[in-house]
């Protein structure tokens, strides 16, 4: 799930800069993933999702994108797992037409759903977008970096369930049993309060997974990622 911030005004958003993997261990693909076909994040071996990723320029970009930069990104559960500080992730081979091949990490832990991936040109980032037992209005905090810091400053994600059990049209497909959630990345640079630096909105469909992710930077739309097709094994 790729996006690019090119404005010099976004220098401290390096949520994203080479945080590195702390206590990361690769494991065999056993036991089978806890998710089933009724999950909001199927993790079965061979399951594949393909997305259109549209990235928008900003008026303040030093090197503006002309129009919309479009990428196609594919994720395939590849049969490996990784342990991040006792959080077991099921790995997905990620292929971007623009950026090439890397690995994304998906997890379901005590009803919490999320993923981690490297986002060029910034680095490794954690997203948590769902608590599948929570009602609309539920709020919880997580860390977008592995150590909870960005350049020595505290950083956090404030996540919220916005809607549950809705219908969502993406492209020509209509999805049901969709949860709509959001995540605000907030940093404390003055020692007193947190400031919002980025806002994300997620739409996830039961039995399918993520169907749309919208990215906003300081209130402006920066990127839209929408599902093109998928195959759940």
Q: What is the pLDDT of residues 88-116, one digit of tens each?
A: 899 999 999 988 999 999 999 889 999 99
Distance CA 84, CA 155 (A): 19
Domains held by the chain: number: 1
Domain membership of residue 152 as a residue range: 8-231
3 is a domain residue: no
Task: Specify the pLDDT at position 183.
Answer: 96
187 is a domain residue: yes
82 is a domain residue: yes
Residue range 118-132: average pLDDT?
78
Residue range 68-81: average pLDDT?
90
Count how many residues are written for the chain. 233
CA distances from 29 to 21, 25, 83, 114 (A): 20, 13, 11, 18
User: Is residue 29 predicted with pLDDT exceeding 80?
Assistant: no
Cross-strand partners of 101: 95
Please work out, in degrees rounded to the nearest 5, the angle formed at the alpha carbon of residue 151 by the alpha carbons of 93 and 130.
45
Predicted model pTM: 0.82
User: Is residue 62 predicted with pLDDT exceeding 50?
Assistant: no
95 is a domain residue: yes
CATH number, position 111: 2.40.360
2 is a domain residue: no
Interior/surface letters 121-159, b for 16+ CB within 10 angstroms, e for the rest: ebbbbbbbbbbbebeeeeeeebebbbeeebeeeebbbbb
Task: Specify the pLDDT at position 69.
Answer: 77
| Average pLDDT over the chain, rounded to an integer | 81
Residue with tokens 């039961």: 206
Task: Specify the pLDDT at position 23.
Answer: 45
């Amino acid at each position: 799930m790729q996006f690019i911030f090119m404005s010099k005004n976004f220098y401290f958003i390096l949520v994203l800069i080479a945080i590195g993997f702390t206590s990361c261990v690769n494991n065999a693909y056993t036991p089978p993933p806890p998710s089933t076909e009724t999950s909001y994040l199927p993790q079965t071996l061979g399951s594949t999702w393909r997305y259109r990723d549209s990235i928008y320029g900003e008026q303040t970009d030093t090197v503006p994108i002309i129009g919309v930069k479009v990428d196609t990104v594919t994720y395939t559960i590849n049969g490996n797992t990784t342990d991040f500080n006792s959080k077991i992730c099921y790995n997905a081979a990620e292929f971007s037409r623009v950026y090439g091949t890397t690995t994304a990490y998906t997890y379901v832990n005590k009803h919490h759903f999320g993923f981690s991936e490297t986002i060029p040109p910034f680095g490794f980032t954690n997203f948590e977008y769902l608590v599948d037992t929570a009602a609309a209005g539920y709020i919880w905090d997580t860390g977008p970096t592995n150590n909870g810091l960005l350049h020595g400053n505290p950083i956090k994600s404030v996540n919220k369930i916005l809607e549950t059990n809705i219908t969502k049209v993406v492209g020509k497909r209509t999805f049901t049993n969709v949860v709509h959630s959001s995540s605000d990345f907030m940093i404390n640079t003055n020692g007193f309060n947190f400031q919002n630096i980025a806002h994300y909105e997620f739409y996830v469909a039961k039995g399918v997974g993520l169907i749309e992710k919208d990215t906003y930077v300081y209130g402006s739309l920066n990127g839209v990622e929408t599902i093109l097709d998928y195959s759940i094994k």
